[in-house]
């Protein structure tokens, strides 16, 4: 029997992480839930999901020492997937409930939609992703085309502002505001949306970046 | 913003059921089977509602949630008899993304405030069941059984102030009848609602949904009977009725009470009419 790759999901929230577990299993991983510090050496992929508030999540990551597992994974250049709040946590700071320091893997900060000319201050629903040509996330043109014509499921009222625009591999639009919906730096891929909740397109995207790379 | 097409599955004793005006329930089959079909057809979201849970003050939703969300990678809302923070937690860790609350929202407003604080706005949906009596729209709870004496539009304003993520507004008069959406209700409600508002009750065909989207600012259409009957018919034709359903239900209905709509067909129609659809 061929051994499946092993994914570890960092569990910091009381919300739904079962879906991301099932989506990873669907695309071919064995999955372990990590809810306190452990050595991440054995994992082929570390996943940082997240729903909820930035400062609460950072507090929890520090209290559980899970932050050390994450930092280790990033230092050792592990395959790393961050979703929604998980993506935001990788920035330097967020203005959610006053300024909170983040993990600082991506340069830039997380801001509220409130100050901007957007259609929805809290965006719940489906939105398109404009895959960038300069730094390509999806190598296969026909899959990229499929995904460009599709939509993904977003739930957020904060968005990230990258200092280095080159790491923004997917851009989405809320009203007149462009924001990064997919970021890729080294072996870290971060989504503002929920690929595990984005129907068949979400699964296709996960499979493409996790299995073929 | 992309308009959402949402399937609603009413659950009783772990079976998918469907009636009219939230009453007269018949068993159609296993909910997980229908949910999987809708996922395969690119539904934008699925709402599961245990329609007798709040009456009997019981909650078996978490194990059912776990089962029905197994192969479904689309947003899931689960409701029915949710009364406390722990109920919500159980449902979320078993695979749902949001919960919908009706009866408890009317009876215990502090509970809604607490839920929003603990789980975030986007996790909490309020379901409003409204019955039109004369020219008045009144709010009902317990799946259309209990009159609250609240005015629907006043109640919608109040709900928004609780900080919840969105509202599903069900027309009890139209629900299960296939006579189209109550456009007057949804036009008025969407004008005063700043958070996403979803319409439920009355879909017979694609035209009904088109009319809803061009005439109102509603964010999504919640559809039950038309989708369920369509798939049920498909299963009947394939003689795949291991469904535990009462086949007599459909056979005995006069043809005017039956209506069939496929998700694919609906989405194609709306796209052809330039509605922003996934």
Q: Could you give the domains of chain A?
A: 6-211 (3.40.50.880)
pTM above 0.90, yes or no: yes
pLDDT band of A102, cuts 50, 70, 90 = very high
* Listed residue (A110, A113, A109, A115) closest to A124, CA to CA: A113
Average pLDDT in the B189-199 region? 94
* Residue B45 maps to a domain: yes
- Residue A14 banded pLDDT, cuts 50, 70, 90: low
A34 vs A70: CA distance, rounded Å? 11
Please, which pLDDT band fits residue A101 given cuts at 50, 70 and 90? very high
Within an 8 Å CB–CB cutoff, is residue B1 touching chain A?
yes
- Alpha carbon A121 to its chain centroid, in Å, reads 20
pLDDT tens-digit series, residues B19-75: 877 776 788 889 999 999 999 999 999 999 998 766 565 557 888 899 999 999 999
pLDDT of residue B14: 86
Tell me if B159 is assigned to some domain.
yes
Q: Which residues touch A209 (CB under 8 Å, ≥6 apart)?
A: A137, A138, A189
| A191 HSE (CA, 13 A, CB side) | 27
The pLDDT value given to residue A213: 47
- The dihedral built from the CA positions of residue A55, A58, A60 and A63, taken in this order, carries a sign that is negative
CA distance A94 to A88: 8
Contacts of A155 in chain B (CB under 8 A): 97, 122
- Residue A54 or residue A90, greater confidence: A90
Residue B239's contacts (CB-CB under 8 Å, 6 or more residues apart) are: none
pLDDT score of B142: 84
- Is A162 one of the catalytic residues? no
* Among B69, B30, B28, B22, CA closest to B47: B69
Q: Does A197 touch chain B (CB under 8 A)?
A: yes
Give the residue-averaged pLDDT of A154-162.
94
Residues of A in contact with B195 (CB under 8 A): 122
Of the partner residues B92, B166, B278, the one whose CB lies closest to the CB of residue A124: B166
Residue B128 · residue B139 · CB < 8 Å:
yes
Does residue B227 register a pLDDT over 60? yes
**Predicted confidence (pLDDT) at residue B252 exceeds the cutoff of 70:** no
B202: in domain: yes
Query: What pLDDT score was predicted for residue B20?
Result: 79
Nearest by CB to residue A124, choosing from B66, B119, B196, is B196
Q: Are strands B98-101 and B146-151 parallel, antiparallel or unpaired?
A: unpaired
Q: Which residues of chain B lie closer than 8 angstroms to A25, CB-CB?
A: none
A100-101, strands of its sheet edge to edge: A100-101, A93-94, A108-112, A158-162
> Rounded distance, CA A46 to CA A39, Å?
11
Question: Token pair of B240, please?
Answer: 């795949």
Length of chain B, please? 278
B-chain residue closest to A195, CA distance = B73
Worst-scoring range by mean pLDDT, A121-130, A192-201, B21-30, B68-77? B21-30
Selection from B35, B43, B37 nearest residue B14 by Cα: B35
Percent of chain B whose predicted confidence (pLDDT) is above 70: 91
pLDDT for B258 equals: 78
Locate B139 and state its tokens. Answer: 């709010």
* SS3 label, residue B6: strand
Say if A166 is an interface residue toward chain B (CB within 8 Å).
Answer: no
How many Å apart are CA B91 and CA B93, to the nearest integer?
6
Work out the pLDDT band at B254, boundaries 50, 70, 90. very low
Identity of the residue in A16, A122, A200 whose CB atom sits nearest the CB atom of B93: A16
Residues A173, A127 contacting (CB under 8 angstroms): yes
B12, two tokens: 């009783």
Across the interface, whether the CB atoms of A124 and B66 are under 8 A apart is answered no
Nearest CA of chain B to the CA of A192: how many Å? 15
* Domain membership flag for residue B123: yes
* Token code pair at residue B121: 């706005």
Do the Cβ atoms of A120 and A155 come closer than 8 Å?
Answer: no
Q: Does B277 reside within a domain?
A: no
Asked if the structure places residue B10 within a domain, the reply is: yes
Distance of CA A146 to the CA centre of its chain: 21
Percent of chain B with pLDDT over 90: 69
Going by C-alpha positions, the residue among B199, B210, B130 that lies closest to residue B167 is: B199
Residue B157 sits at φ, ψ, to 5 deg, of -60, -45
What pLDDT shows up at residue B81? 87
Distance of CA B108 to the CA centre of its chain: 22
Question: Whole-number mean pLDDT of chain B?
Answer: 89
What average pLDDT does range B92-96 have in this prediction? 93
SS3 call for A73:
helix
Higher-confidence position of A97 and A82: A82
Cross-chain residue pair B95–A122, CB shorter than 8 Å: no
Query: Nearest Cα to B144, choosing from B37, B265, B239, B19?
Result: B19
Place of tokens 């398109």: A128
Give B240's pLDDT tier (boundaries 50, 70, 90): low
The mean pLDDT value for B88-100 works out to 93
B50 within domain boundaries: yes
Chain A closest-CA separation from residue B78 CA (Å): 13
Chain A contacts of B4, Cβ < 8 Å?
125-126
The answer, yes or no, to whether residue B174 has pLDDT greater than 60, is yes
Bin A45: left if φ > 0, else alpha if -120 < ψ < 50, else beta: beta
The pLDDT of residue A183 is above 60 = yes
Q: Specify the CATH number for the domain of residue B186.
A: 3.20.20.70
Is residue B256 over pLDDT 70?
no
Residue corresponding to tokens 């069939």: B260
User: Does residue A112 or residue B60 have the better pLDDT?
Assistant: A112
Task: Print the SS3 string covering B247-270.
Answer: CHHHHHCCHHHCCCCCHHHHHHHH
Q: Percent of chain A having pLDDT more than 70? A: 98
The total number of structural domains that make up chain B: 1
Nearest to B2 among A15, A16, A126 (CB): A126
Q: Which residue has the higher pLDDT, B257 or A131?
A: A131
Q: A202-206, B70-74, B239-243 — which is least confidently predicted?
A: B239-243
pLDDT at residue B18 in the model = 86
Q: Closest Cα of chain B to A167: distance in Å?
A: 26
Distances (CA, A) of B177 to A6, B28, B80, B206: 50, 17, 22, 15
Average pLDDT over residues B245-262: 63
Does residue B206 form part of some domain? yes
The predicted pLDDT at position B129 comes to 95
* Residue-range definition of the domain harbouring residue B145: 4-272
Q: What is the mean pLDDT of residues A40-45?
A: 96
For B77, the closest chain A residue by CA position comes to: A16
Q: Over 70: is that where the pLDDT of B102 sits?
A: yes
Q: Which residues pair with B6 in a beta bridge?
A: B45, B222
A11 in contact with B at a CB cutoff of 8 Å? no
Structure tokens at B33: 């089977």
Least confident of A109-123, A153-167, B20-34: B20-34
ipTM: 0.90
> What pLDDT does residue B26 have?
82
């Amino acid at each position: 029997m061929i051994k499946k790759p092993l994914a570890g999901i960092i569990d910091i929230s009381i919300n739904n992480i079962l879906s991301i577990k099932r989506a990873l299993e669907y695309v071919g991983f064995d999955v372990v839930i990590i809810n306190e510090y452990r050595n991440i050496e054995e994992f082929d992929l570390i996943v940082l999901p997240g729903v909820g508030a930035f400062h609460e999540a950072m507090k929890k990551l520090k209290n559980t020492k899970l932050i050390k597992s994450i930092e280790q994974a990033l230092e050792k250049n592990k395959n790393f997937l961050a979703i929604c709040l998980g993506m935001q946590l990788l920035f330097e700071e967020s203005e959610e409930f006053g300024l909170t320091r983040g993990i600082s893997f991506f340069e830039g900060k997380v801001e509220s939609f409130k100050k901007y000319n957007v259609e929805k201050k809290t965006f719940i629903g489906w939105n398109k992703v404009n895959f960038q040509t300069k730094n390509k996330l999806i190598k296969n043109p026909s899959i990229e085309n499929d995904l460009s014509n599709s939509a993904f499921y977003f739930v957020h009222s904060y968005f990230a502002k990258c200092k280095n625009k080159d790491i923004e591999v997917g851009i989405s639009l809320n009203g007149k505001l462009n924001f990064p919906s997919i970021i890729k730096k080294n072996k870290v891929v971060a989504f503002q949306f929920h690929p595990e909740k984005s129907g068949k397109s979400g699964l296709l995207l996960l499979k493409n970046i996790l299995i073929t790379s | 913003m992309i308009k959402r097409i949402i399937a609603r599955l009413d659950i009783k004793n772990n079976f998918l059921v469907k009636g009219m005006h939230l009453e007269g329930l018949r068993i159609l089959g296993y909910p997980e089977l229908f949910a999987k079909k809708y996922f395969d057809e690119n539904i934008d979201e699925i709402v599961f509602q245990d329609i007798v849970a709040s009456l009997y003050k019981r909650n078996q939703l978490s194990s059912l949630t776990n089962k029905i969300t197994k192969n479904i990678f689309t947003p899931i809302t689960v409701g029915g008899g949710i009364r406390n923070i722990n109920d919500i937690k159980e449902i979320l860790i078993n695979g749902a993304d949001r919960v919908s609350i009706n009866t408890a929202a009317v009876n215990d407003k502090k509970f809604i405030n607490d839920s929003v604080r603990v789980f975030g706005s986007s996790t909490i949906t309020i379901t409003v069941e409204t019955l039109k009596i004369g020219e008045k729209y009144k709010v009902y709870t317990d799946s259309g059984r209990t009159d609250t004496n609240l005015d629907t539009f006043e109640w919608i304003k109040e709900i928004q102030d609780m900080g919840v993520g969105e509202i599903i507004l069900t027309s009890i008069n139209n629900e299960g009848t296939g006579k189209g959406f109550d456009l007057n209700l949804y036009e008025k409600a969407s004008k005063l609602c700043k958070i996403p508002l979803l319409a439920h009750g009355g879909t017979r065909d694609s035209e009904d949904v088109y009319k809803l989207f061009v005439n109102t600012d509603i964010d999504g259409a919640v559809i039950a009977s038309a989708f369920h009957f369509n798939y049920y018919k498909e299963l009947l034709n394939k003689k795949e009725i291991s469904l535990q359903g009462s086949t007599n239900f459909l056979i005995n209905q006069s043809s005017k009470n039956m209506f069939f709509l496929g998700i694919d067909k609906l989405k194609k129609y709306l796209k052809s009419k330039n509605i922003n659809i996934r």
